[in-house]
Homo-oligomer: A and B are copies of this chain.
Amino acid sequence: MEQQLPIKIVLDSWYTTISRANELFNSLTEEQLQNEVSPGRNTGTYLLGHLTAVHDRMLPLLGLGAQRFPQLDDVFLTSPDKSGKSKPSITELRAYWKEVNEALAASFRNMQPAEWLQKHTSVSEVDFVKEPHRNRLNVLISRTNHLSSHYGQLLFLKK
């Protein structure tokens, strides 16, 4: 059995999903991003910040470095959209989104396939022995699905 191929396929799926999201975000105007994806639901701006914060936190979770923009957590992870908390501008959020995904890609390029099966940093050594599936690959797959889910919602911002 080819050992590296499953890892490559999962990574390709991540990059494809990121590319689609980039294409969508790039096609949306500031005005469109300020709209709710469905009446009473999150705005595009909030989802852009939310996805940026979630991806940013993948850096420490995968043991690849520190979060770049920890200040996003309070606004986009622990608070809902209409919290009244001050948000960065859409221009800033677009730049953060790009930077975070590029930092992840730079780290991923240096990783060997076997490194994807190493534990992520939220599981203890003891638990990891019993639950070897709690590894970096699992995080990547989970975050790909998370992005897909919000991507489906963000599509509604298009005319």
Contacts and interface: CB of A to CB of B under 8 A. Distances in A.
What is the count of identical protomers in the complex? Answer: 2
A98 interface: no
A74 interface: no
A133 to B, nearest CB: 5
Of A113, A116, A144, A145, chain B has the most CB atoms within 10 Å of the CB of A145
A156 B22 CA distance: 23
Contact of A9 (B1, B141, B150): B141
Contact of A38 (B38, B116, B148): B38
Contacts of A37: 38, 156
A64 interface: no
A114 interface: yes
A51 to B, nearest CB: 12
Interface string A127-159: 000001101011001101110111111001000
Given A1-B114, A38-B38, A38-B156, A145 B6 contact: no
A101 interface: no
A19 to B, nearest CB: 13
